[in-house]
Chains A and B, each alone.
Chain A
Amino acid sequence: METNTILIGLAGVLAAAAPVLFAVLGETITERAGIINLSMNGSILLAAMGGFAVAYRTQSLVLGFLAGMLIGMLVAFIVAFSSITLHQSQVAVGFVLALAGRDLAYFLGVPYMNTPGPVLKILPIPLLKNIPILGPLFFQQNLMTYLSYILIILIWLYIFRTRPGLMLRGIGERPAAAYVRGANVNRLRYLYTILGGALIGLAGPAFTLNVKAGWMGTQTGLDGIGWIALSITIFGGWNPFRAAFGAYLFSFLQWLGLILQSKLPGIPTQVLQVAPFPLMILTLLLVNISDAEWVQRMLASLPEGTRRVVARLLRALRASPPASLGVPFESE
């Protein structure tokens, strides 16, 4: 009985991580192409509200998810247009969009507040669902959770094992070199930003039609999730597998918070809910610290044996951003 409860809990962790994963994978693709889409928090909230509203009006889950993706694409287009075509700061425009999306979602979402809408159902996979432990854990989920597994693998394969994926990395690392090799850098950046935006947008209805069903305005509890997804993208080192690990870790810690809450009555609920964030900063620090000058100097002064161990440890943790992340490209 006890193991069964844990299994159900862990299966819930995988399901709850799916929307975050979509957002993180979308941002990973975008940043791989050299563009920062800082608007995520707004995109996700607006897509969450819009996706729910469309699904509620049409009673169609498919249209709801598509609407969410469309909203994400539209916001991503504004980021791409303002940075690539208009040469404005990606960070500034992204930040304003992060606030605008959130405020718009609350403003336009009033008619849909606290109304029950369609919810995605669980779809166990025949045969696989009967495997002990793995079955209830992985294969008694809904379509969005399955999609999240598949996307991790597909996007990893695309980025690291295909020719267009090589070009994608190229336009984020050395756009000038990619340009010489015939890539239309800015057009590709548009493409990947909008594509990434579609995934970010998908995260919205993946919440409101699934994990956190319904729209409850500010009580929906989604405000901040985009900023978390942004941190997980950095933590994930722009690699889909590492990003997935980050998303699952975050989801796991939130679940752990809920479990511990009953065991530790002295600590207020709200504290355990936010417990993952300090951990996030710590990991960001570990991921980035090997870039700092003083660490390099300290490393050089260590005795040979220790240095090798520490250097290897730091290298394993390290994640460097695409070299031209946030840097505009001019072909002339």
Chain B
Amino acid sequence: MKKNTWINIGFQAGALVLALLLTTLLLVAAGAPPFKAYASIVSGAFGKVGNVENILITWSPLLLTTAGVLITFAAGLWNIGIEGQMAVGAIFTTGMLRMLQHSSMSPALIIILGILAGILGGAIWAVLAGLLKIFGGVNEIFGGLGLNFVATALTIYLVFGPWKRPGVGSMSGTQPFDQKLWLPSLPHTELSLWALGLSLLVIVIVYFLLRGTHFGLRLKAVGKNPKAALLMGIPTWQYSIFAFLLCGAFAGLAGAIQVVSVYHRLLPNISNGYGFLGLLVAMLINYQAIWAAPIAFFFAAVNIGSVQLQIIYKLDSSFAGVLQDLLVLLVLLGEGARQRFLRKN
């Protein structure tokens, strides 16, 4: 037992070292001094208070999407449609705010209704993927991908069509909302403690839901072996749909937050890859909710820190993605190698 612990740590450390080695080689290949580049990522992430605030702004939607896919993964589902769910959430929020912005309702109430609409929108889009899977026989990966495209088309249509800025529609999005419809944030930043608090609350709820409740246990049973779960009397398809619904609701909330607290308008690419990044985080932490918050924070820090690379070394900002992807890839491969090693010995 003791020996295995060391083997496990060895393989995980090996995967991390290998991932860093690879990204270092890539930096060299791109003509940047690697150690200075890493240092500039760190200073770009933590050098100024404003940068840390940006990390927290990025952390919030990433926490939500990670929390969402932890639920669908527990149910054995690959909710690749999460990007679209986040976008539809943002669309619903924008729609609600547009509808009520000139009414006499109190701004706080409008914001709350907007966020609820976003949650609803995300949930609807996710349940659609679930219905396609269960009643249409369409694998959730393909249905989800298709729905992502539809959500993108819908967003673009709204931004350039019915909701376009007075004059001409543009990629910079719809007309920003009046400041009274912004989620209250810290002074001189888009960082809203409300958004951050909600996101942290969600990840804590998901942690306890999956760990300590009857529901979580049954959900995992559905994910591990649906046939056995059905024989045990668990209504499997209802559980699957509910997993989609919860994940979509969290993704929708993430989309709503982007609208009411970060951009204050609808953008063509409002989901910004947070859904896929959430899937990556969930894989990297081996679906253990306890690690979601720190690893999502780390990913957010890498994203913000890498902005510096673009400014100083003219490198593409996709370096953050490269680092994250290779890390997850090598951890997956390392896990496979570890299992193989243990089987052989």
Q: Is B a genuine binding partner of A? A: yes
Q: Give residues in A with beta carbon < 8 Å to B.
A: 38, 78, 82, 85-89, 91-93, 95-97, 99-100, 102-104, 106-110, 217, 224, 227, 230-231, 234, 266-268, 270-271, 274-275, 277-278, 280-281, 284-285, 288-292, 294
Q: Which residue of B lies closest to A276 (CB)?
A: B149
**Cα-based distance from A274 to B151 in the complex (angstroms):** 10
Complex contacts, B328 vs chain A, CB 8 Å: 96
Complex contacts, B329 vs chain A, CB 8 Å: 78, 93, 96-97, 100
Instruction: List, sorted by A's number, 26 A–B pairs whose CB atoms are closer than 8 Å.
Output: A82-B336, A88-B336, A97-B325, A100-B329, A104-B26, A106-B316, A107-B315, A109-B316, A110-B316, A224-B149, A231-B145, A266-B161, A267-B157, A270-B153, A270-B268, A271-B156, A274-B152, A277-B149, A277-B150, A281-B143, A284-B138, A285-B132, A285-B136, A285-B138, A288-B136, A291-B137
Contact A234 B142, CB 8 Å, known A96-B280, A108-B30:
yes
**B332 adjacent to A96 (CB under 8 Å):** yes
Contact A103 B325, CB 8 Å, known A86-B337, A271-B157:
yes
Contact A110 B315, CB 8 Å, known A96-B325, A288-B138, A291-B137:
yes
The answer to whether the Cβ of B146 comes within 8 Å of any Cβ in the partner chain is: yes
**A86 adjacent to B336 (CB under 8 Å):** yes
Complex contacts, B135 vs chain A, CB 8 Å: 292, 294
The answer to whether the Cβ of B228 comes within 8 Å of any Cβ in the partner chain is: no
B142's contact among A109, A230, A274, A290, by CB below 8 Å, is which?
A230
Other A-B pairs, 8, CB within 8 Å; known A82-B336, A107-B322: A86-B333, A88-B333, A100-B325, A109-B316, A234-B139, A271-B160, A284-B142, A288-B139
The answer to whether the Cβ of B225 comes within 8 Å of any Cβ in the partner chain is: no
The answer to whether the Cβ of B221 comes within 8 Å of any Cβ in the partner chain is: no
Complex contacts, A289 vs chain B, CB 8 Å: 136-137
**B156 adjacent to A270 (CB under 8 Å):** yes
Contact A99 B280, CB 8 Å, known A107-B26, A110-B316:
yes
CB of A276, distance to nearest CB on chain B (Å) = 9
A270's contact among B160, B316, B333, B335, by CB below 8 Å, is which?
B160
**A268 adjacent to B149 (CB under 8 Å):** no
**Cα-based distance from A268 to B279 in the complex (angstroms):** 32
Complex contacts, B315 vs chain A, CB 8 Å: 107, 110
CB of A90, distance to nearest CB on chain B (Å) = 11
CB of B224, distance to nearest CB on chain A (Å) = 14
A271's contact among B161, B319, B337, B339, by CB below 8 Å, is which?
B161
**A106 adjacent to B318 (CB under 8 Å):** yes
Contact with A along B141-179 (1 / 0, CB 8 A): 111011111101100110011000000010000000000
The answer to whether the Cβ of B229 comes within 8 Å of any Cβ in the partner chain is: no
The answer to whether the Cβ of B3 comes within 8 Å of any Cβ in the partner chain is: no
Complex contacts, A274 vs chain B, CB 8 Å: 149-150, 152-153, 156
Q: Give residues in B with beta carbon < 8 Å to A.
A: 26, 29-30, 78, 80, 132, 134-139, 141-143, 145-150, 152-153, 156-157, 160-161, 169, 268, 276, 279-280, 283, 314-316, 318-319, 321-322, 325-326, 328-329, 332-333, 335-337, 339-340
CB of A322, distance to nearest CB on chain B (Å) = 13
**Cα-based distance from A266 to B153 in the complex (angstroms):** 15
Contact A92 B149, CB 8 Å, known A110-B315, A271-B161:
no
Complex contacts, B332 vs chain A, CB 8 Å: 82, 88-89, 92-93, 96
**B26 adjacent to A108 (CB under 8 Å):** yes
**Cα-based distance from A290 to B136 in the complex (angstroms):** 8
CB of B331, distance to nearest CB on chain A (Å) = 9
Q: Interface centre among A267, A278, A284, by most B CB within 10 Å?
A: A284
CB of A64, distance to nearest CB on chain B (Å) = 19
Complex contacts, B316 vs chain A, CB 8 Å: 106-107, 109-110, 217
CB of A106, distance to nearest CB on chain B (Å) = 4
**A277 adjacent to B146 (CB under 8 Å):** yes
Q: Which residue of A lies closest to B320 (CB)?
A: A103
CB of B199, distance to nearest CB on chain A (Å) = 22
**B283 adjacent to A99 (CB under 8 Å):** no
**B340 adjacent to A87 (CB under 8 Å):** yes
**Cα-based distance from A278 to B132 in the complex (angstroms):** 13
**A88 adjacent to B335 (CB under 8 Å):** yes
Q: Which residue of B lies closest to A99 (CB)?
A: B325
Contact A290 B137, CB 8 Å, known A88-B336, A277-B146:
yes
Complex contacts, B138 vs chain A, CB 8 Å: 281, 284-285, 288
**Cα-based distance from A291 to B134 in the complex (angstroms):** 10
Q: Which 3 interchain pairs have the tightest Cβ spacing? A: A86-B336, A103-B321, A277-B149
